[in-house]
Structure 1
Amino acid sequence: VFFLSPAMAQTEIVPSGFLDDYGILIPNAEVKGDYNYRKEGVTISKYPNVMIEPLEIWLDPESTYKGVSPDMLKEMTEEFRNIMIKNL
């Protein structure tokens, strides 16, 4: 399962090179800017445990905005990870 947060996602996917094929992502009809991927035939409920790795945020070195503090990035990644864990 792959998720893009609506807060971070754009209305159109701009390939960054993270995925080989962005065509596998399907727009979520309920949340604008949210895209999902589920591999066919995989049943998540059969797994007794799921490991959620700590999140990483990569900033574009060419971005004109450089104002995100390390504390804010840490808070954002921890909160997003906690939300993912809560909603499993």
Structure 2
Amino acid sequence: MEWQLQDAKNQFSKVVQKARHEGPQEITVRGERTAVFLAARDYDALRAEHPTLVDDLLGGPSWDDDLADAVDVRAKTLNRDVAF
């Protein structure tokens, strides 16, 4: 359903109930679609489908022992060469 912003503000509890039972509610400002009001379960379902950047970075390929050792040695070498 589509709501003008003023109507959505005046009937907020109705917008919430319709979002819970009927699905997303579109909010318009001066006739332009501006926002969509979602029930929490719909929002959660959307978020579950798209991992965050942190999830992507942490879920990257694992390092084998040789690569981890090489990175560790390089980091120690770089830290030793830096003068303060």
Larger Rg: 2
TM over 0.5: no
TM-score grouping bracket, smaller chain normalisation: under 0.3
Structure 2 length-normalised TM: 0.22
More strand by share: 2
More helix by share: 2
Structure 1 length-normalised TM: 0.21
